Amino acid sequence: MRWSFPNPDPAQIEALRAEAKVSPLIARLLFLRGITAANALRYLSPSLNDLHSPYLMHGMSTAIERISAAIANREGILIYGDYDVDGTSAVVILKTAIELCGGAADFHVPHRIKEGYGIKDDVIARAAAAGIKVVISVDTGIRAFHAAETARRVGLDLIVTDHHLPEAHEGVPDALAVLNPNQQGCDYPCKELCGAGVAFKIAQALFAKFKDAADQARLVPSFLKMVAIATIADAVPLVGENRIIARLGLEGLRRPANSGLKALLEVSGLNDGRALAAGDVGFRLGPRINAAGRMDVARDVIELFTSRDQARCKEIAEKLNQLNLERQEEEARIVAAIEEQLAAEPDLTGKFCMVFDGDGWHRGVVGIVASRVVEKTGRPALVIAREGEEAHGSGRSISAFHLLDALESCHELFTRFGGHEHAVGFALPSRDVPALKQRLNIYAQTKLTPEDLIPQLSVDAEIHLTAITPELFHQLSRLEPFGQGNPVPVFSSRCVNLLLPPKILKEKHIKIRVNQKLKDSKPSFNYEAVGWRMAERLQSEPLEAGDMLDVAFTIGMNDHPDFGGLELTLEDFRKNIPASIPVCSQGPVAL
């Protein structure tokens, strides 16, 4: 792994430090995240007033006018969602908003296995036959060209709301209104909204139309809790408005009022009233919500968050918890099969784009597995579940490779596909999987260099271990929430002493104890550092007590009452060899 050290302009950092009244280190971190002196205070202390007007989004006026008419005339509204955490959260947000404004809305969330992704023509036709007049898609529909034609033919008004990238050649569906910040002609400032974020903008506009100022001041912060969960779990960049949503929503999650949310926090072990971090949502709440759509039926999630029956909410939350355990088992099974294939076929590691497929793999977890393959290999990866003559897959990518463009290059192979730059979903005939493997690898060879495939770790700053204090941790917390687009700060320290042999945790992880002895100064405190999924490295890079290491790490706080305190998470380590790692010219950054 290559370590890279940015070398920003000291004058700009000093200007930022003076304006924001922060330490030189925090000013450096802000600068590296694109924050300027002009917007530093807004970044550090976001408020509801920083949310954009919903009407900056193309199509919003038309959508609100039609939804308002449906509410006034008591027309039937159907919300058509997706089965992941973003899609189900979006259904909850929009359904609740419409009902609070005096309307009524039914919903349809497709079954991942039986129906698959996207708006189906037969659901549109059945909705029309049942008297529905308006269908609103959430987190789906930007490529639903046939569904838009069907809606028009049966006399339905279709409003498409989505955040996925539009089709490169055909544009957007011919619907009554299309709300997607990524469509051409839309000047909405935050292009990175998730599907629930787009649904929230409709809710925000409806509240402005139907509610007074006091109600809006109460409802908007309340809704941000669900939007924050979707925003973080869907791994959209936490920049601009997304960061405001996540920051304010996480603060609100300390005081949940929704019975379903309370039950979910309880089964996730997050009901102790402490402030939640993005990692709590990404690794504990999000997977349990996603488990419904991955392993069973996603409509359980809508019931969880719309039911007022506390006993029923607890029952559903416990079911989601069990489904998540089953998801973990299935994920481990597929990962093991891929690792066996990699061991048996070493040539696979030479592919520029890796594609794995298997019979009997659960299509609900292939996206997670693809992420694991990317982590392990440092290469774009697709994982495909073959189901007879059909195959369904997901892909994840590295920063240098636009995966959706790669799929566009062989679009004729797919029965459907879509997604983003670094995450895609698709279906194709099983017979075409070999052709897909060949064509994607050839395409990737034209877009990637061998250097692109070497994992790179961007180190924000070199610091001494003596600089790691509760005060520094408090300062870093002002930059939260961390995630895509707003990464947790990574630091490095050289010539760190390994005090004890590494401890292996659950056969996969390591824990080491280190300190640092600087010339003419006392040694630092002893720090525990955990390296997730690093146990395998010790086979080729054994460590012994007394070794001198260079380490890259993030800083966290262990809240355990008995052995809590500041804790480091290893991003990388290597034995110290003088001048082996390039460092920033000014050396350790001043605090």
- Where do the domains of the chain lie? 50-252, 255-344, 346-453, 459-575
Q: Which one-letter amino acid corresponds to residue 217?
A: A
List residues bridging with 354 in a β-sheet: 381
User: What per-residue string of b and e applies to 45-58 under the rule 16 or more CB within 10 Å gives b?
Assistant: ebeeebbbebeebb
Question: What pTM was computed for the model?
Answer: 0.88
Backbone torsions φ then ψ of 490, nearest 5 degrees: -110, 130
CA angle 252, 264, 54 (to 5 degrees): 45
Residue 85, H or E segment: helix 85-100
What is the domain class of 346-453 according to CATH? alpha beta
Q: Which one-letter amino acid corresponds to residue 156?
A: L
Digit-by-digit pLDDT tens for the chain (591 residues) are 889 999 999 999 999 999 999 999 999 999 999 998 888 988 999 999 999 999 999 999 999 999 999 999 999 999 999 999 999 999 999 999 999 999 999 999 998 878 878 899 999 999 999 999 999 999 999 999 999 999 999 999 999 999 999 987 789 999 999 999 999 999 999 999 999 999 999 999 999 999 999 999 999 999 999 999 999 999 999 999 999 999 999 999 989 999 999 999 999 999 887 889 999 999 999 999 999 988 888 999 999 999 999 999 999 999 999 999 999 999 999 999 999 999 898 888 889 999 999 999 999 899 999 999 998 899 999 999 999 999 999 999 999 999 999 999 999 999 999 888 999 999 999 999 999 999 999 999 999 999 999 888 999 999 999 999 999 999 999 999 999 899 999 999 999 999 999 999 999 999 999 999 988 778 888 999 999 999 999 999 999 999 999 999 999 988 766 667 899 999 999 998 765 444 433 456 666
Strands 509-515 and 491-498: antiparallel
Would you say 133 and 75 are in contact if contact means Cβ atoms under 8 Å apart?
A: yes
Residue from 431, 362, 373, 365 nearest 403 by CA: 373
Beta strands in 75-182 (DSSP E): 76-80, 105-108, 132-138, 157-161, 177-179
Would you say 421 and 402 are in contact if contact means Cβ atoms under 8 Å apart?
A: yes
What contacts 514, CB < 8 A, 6 or more positions away? 465, 496, 497, 498, 499, 526, 527, 529, 549, 551, 568
Q: What is the pLDDT of residue 583?
A: 40
Residue from 344, 328, 286 nearest 84 by CA: 286
Q: What is the pLDDT of residue 582?
A: 42
Q: What is the pLDDT of residue 580?
A: 45
What is the fold of 50-252?
A: inorganic pyrophosphatase (n-terminal core) (3.90.1640)
What contacts 21, CB < 8 A, 6 or more positions away? none
Strands 503-505 and 105-108: unpaired
Cα–Cα distance, 353 to 448 (Å, whole number): 10
Options 3.30.413.10, 3.40.800.10, 1.10.760.10, 2.40.50.460; CATH for 459-575 is 2.40.50.460
Per CATH, 346-453 and 459-575 having the same topology is answered no
SS3 state at 340 = helix
